[in-house]
């Protein structure tokens, strides 16, 4: 396994992804990680990530230099390389020219780390660069602005690169990571099948004969977590699904079919549709809606979980990015785990321990795991769906009538998106119902009905998003079907705003 020390780079999760793509397991730890914890991990190599600090800043992050005495290869990336050079007595200086963007790498030494590489483009993002190399280190490559774009200390197997091999823009980046893993002699046996097997054993050991309760949201993460835990402990797991009536058409039914009937899991369905509707009656403010929906969910979930006698664990579908992001910057070794936004706090008297079997996985790995565990493409490729559901896609007051209208229109869009084969390509695609009526004409009759909006976006992480350039013919088909098939809508608009400055959801 590979240990990645996180010096705060925005790319550090990408480093982890690249390592895992080569079937090697890795973990990310803050620089404050103790030497004992590192030894316990038994890493075969260490990668020092980049970061925003300058090595000469007063509080620049540093990891215990004992890592260089463990007899294992180390690869420093950007700040990580500067830290290594500084530790061994070399010097770093502010570059005259800040280098940001593409650069051409001129390789001088085509061995070990750069074995089999061509001179090609790499991605730079740095203000500081290496001035003098410490004794034993040799430069391996340069670029027009950076004399030491890469260096190594061959006897010790220490390597440094000023550019970022983990980003797509570095053409030979994958090969560099692959070469480093070969130098570390890593066993390449990290697969989802092996992860599933080991995790199931772990869960069995941790839980023993006790009971686990888990809140199902209908999303990918909680479903995969539930199936995994169920494989380990069977009926000792009870899932709770609160039907708030704000899910897409047929979602609750599908979930019931797949998990209860096909997988024979023990699920308590709580029909809370009426309670949510009456709590939301007359409410139009988006944040108030969110609060009401969130609080009521917690209340109902807690009451239901409280009925499960002897529950000792709360299962959650927390993912690795949540774990990493919830650590304080350069914080201590004990990570604070953020609780999943779809599952609220439980009564303290229940004193449940967290069971988070996906906490070392990235989203795409969870999808592969889901498939490995026998879930369908439909289950594992779900687009993200917000906790407050359709509640924030009905602008203005939420009524049963409006909910039904939106569900029908949204189902038509979803059906057409899937038929067009673009469901997986779109980050999200859904319909928003506006509290605006417009005049239309149908046959010989005047109509005065609601307007809905189609929203479809491309995105990698929801932080930014671009409106999808859907074909006009496709939009025409959806619009015509919605207006003809859904009573209550006589006008369809298409949202052509990107995030920022708009957001993905309308509320």
All residues at 6 or more sequence positions from 191 whose CB lies less than 8 Å from its CB, including other chains = 23
Shortest distance, CB of residue 315 to ligand XMP, whole angstroms? 18
Least Cα distance to 136 among 112, 118, 121, 155 occurs for: 155
Nearer to ligand XMP, 200 or 272 (CB): 272
Around 290, how many Cα atoms within 13 Å sit in the side-chain half-sphere? 11
d(CA 400, CA 397): 10
Nearer to ligand XMP, 299 or 505 (CB): 505
Shortest distance, CB of residue 421 to ligand XMP, whole angstroms? 22
Shortest distance, CB of residue 290 to ligand XMP, whole angstroms? 5
Quote helix, strand, coil % in the chain, to nearest 5.
35, 25, 40
Please report which residue ranges of 95-191 form alpha helices under DSSP H: 173-183
- Known binding-site positions: 217-223
Shortest distance, CB of residue 426 to ligand XMP, whole angstroms? 12
Beta strand residue intervals within 205-299, DSSP E: 211-216, 237-243, 267-271
Shortest distance, CB of residue 219 to ligand XMP, whole angstroms? 9
Nearer to ligand XMP, 290 or 363 (CB): 290
DSSP classification of residue 330: T
d(CA 65, CA 494): 56
Nearer to ligand XMP, 162 or 318 (CB): 318
Shortest distance, CB of residue 380 to ligand XMP, whole angstroms? 17
Shortest distance, CB of residue 467 to ligand XMP, whole angstroms? 12
Nearer to ligand XMP, 234 or 384 (CB): 384
Q: Is 226 helix (H, G, I), strand (E, B) or coil?
A: helix
Shortest distance, CB of residue 30 to ligand XMP, whole angstroms? 27
Nearer to ligand XMP, 286 or 440 (CB): 286
- Known binding-site positions for ATP: 217-223
Cβ atoms < 10 Å from Cβ of 118: 11
d(CA 156, CA 45): 12
Nearer to ligand XMP, 70 or 283 (CB): 283
Q: Are 397 and 282 spatial neighbours (Cβ–Cβ below 8 Å)?
A: yes
Length of the chain: 507
All residues at 6 or more sequence positions from 149 whose CB lies less than 8 Å from its CB, including other chains = 103, 105, 106, 122, 124, 139, 140, 141, 142, 143, 161, 162, 163
Binding residues for ligand XMP, rule: CB under 6 A, are: 290, 341, 384, 386-388, 428, 462, 499, 503-505
Handedness of CA 411, 412, 413, 415 (dihedral sign): positive
3-state secondary structure 39-51: HHHCCCEEEECCC
Nearer to ligand XMP, 109 or 497 (CB): 497
Catalytically active residues are: 78, 164, 166
Q: Are 48 and 77 spatial neighbours (Cβ–Cβ below 8 Å)?
A: yes
Cβ atoms < 10 Å from Cβ of 383: 17
Nearer to ligand XMP, 331 or 384 (CB): 384
Shortest distance, CB of residue 269 to ligand XMP, whole angstroms? 21
213 class by beta-carbon count within 10 Å (0-12 exposed, 13-18 middle, 19+ buried): buried
Cα separation values, 408 from 72, 195, 394, 456, 486, Å: 59, 40, 13, 17, 6
Q: Are 143 and 124 spatial neighbours (Cβ–Cβ below 8 Å)?
A: yes
Quick one: residue 65, left, alpha or beta (phi over 0 = left, psi -120 to 50 = alpha)? alpha
Least Cα distance to 454 among 404, 489, 501, 402 occurs for: 489
Q: Are 297 and 222 spatial neighbours (Cβ–Cβ below 8 Å)?
A: no
Residue indicated by tokens 């888990």: 214
């Amino acid at each position: 396994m590979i240990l990645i020390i996180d010096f705060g780079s925005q790319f550090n999760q990408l480093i982890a992804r690249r390592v895992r793509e080569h079937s090697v397991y890795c973990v990310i730890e803050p620089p404050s990680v103790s030497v004992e914890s590192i030894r316990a991990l038994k890493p075969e190599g260490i990668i020092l990530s980049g970061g925003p600090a300058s090595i000469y800043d007063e509080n620049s992050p540093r990891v215990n230099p004992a890592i260089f005495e463990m007899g294992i290869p180390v690869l420093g990336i950007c700040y990580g390389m500067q830290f290594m050079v500084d530790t061994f007595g070399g010097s770093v200086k502010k570059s005259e020219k800040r280098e940001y963007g593409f650069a051409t790498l001129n390789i001088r030494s085509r061995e070990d780390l750069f074995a089999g590489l061509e001179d090609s483009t790499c991605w730079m993002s740095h203000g500081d660069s290496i001035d003098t190399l410490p004794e034993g280190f040799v430069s391996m490559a340069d670029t027009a602005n950076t004399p030491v774009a890469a260096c190594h200390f061959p006897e010790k197997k220490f390597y440094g690169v000023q550019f970022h091999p983990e980003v797509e823009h570095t053409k030979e980046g994958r090969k560099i990571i692959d070469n480093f893993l070969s130098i570390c002699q890593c066993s390449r046996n990290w697969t989802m099948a092996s992860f599933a097997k080991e995790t199931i054993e772990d869960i069995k050991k941790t839980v023993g004969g006790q009971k686990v309760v888990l809140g199902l949201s209908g999303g990918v993460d909680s479903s995969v977590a539930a199936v995994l835990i169920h494989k380990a402990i069977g009926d000792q797991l009870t899932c709770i699904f609160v039907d708030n009536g704000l899910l897409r058409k047929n979602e609750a039914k599908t979930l019931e079919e797949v998990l209860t009937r096909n997988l024979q899991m023990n699920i308590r369905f709580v029909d809370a549709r009426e309670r949510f509707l009456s709590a939301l009656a007359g409410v139009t403010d988006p944040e108030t809606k969110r609060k009401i929906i969130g609080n009521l969910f917690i209340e109902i979930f807690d009451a239901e979980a409280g009925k499960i006698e002897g529950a000792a664990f709360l299962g959650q579908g927390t993912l690795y990015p949540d774990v990493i992001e919830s650590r304080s910057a350069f914080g201590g070794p004990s990570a604070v785990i953020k609780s999943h936004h779809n599952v609220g706090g439980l009564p303290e008297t229940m004193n449940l321990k967290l069971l988070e079997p996906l906490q070392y996985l990235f989203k795409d790995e969870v999808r592969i795991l889901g498939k490995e565990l026998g879930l369908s493409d439909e289950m594992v490729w779900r687009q993200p769906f917000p906790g407050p559901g359709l509640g924030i896609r009905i602008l203005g007051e939420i009524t049963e009538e409006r909910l039904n209208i939106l569900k029908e229109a949204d189902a038509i869009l979803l059906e057409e998106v899937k038929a067009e084969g673009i469901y997986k390509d779109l980050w999200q695609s859904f319909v928003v119902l506006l509290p605006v009526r417009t005049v239309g004409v149908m046959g010989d009759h005047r109509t005065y009905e609601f307007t809905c909006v189609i929203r479809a976006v491309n995105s990698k992480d929801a932080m930014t998003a671009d409106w999808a350039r859907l074909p006009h013919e496709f939009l025409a088909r959806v619009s015509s079907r919605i207006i003809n098939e859904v009573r209550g809508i006589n006008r369809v608009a298409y949202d052509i705003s990107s995030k920022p400055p708009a957001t993905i959801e309308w509320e």
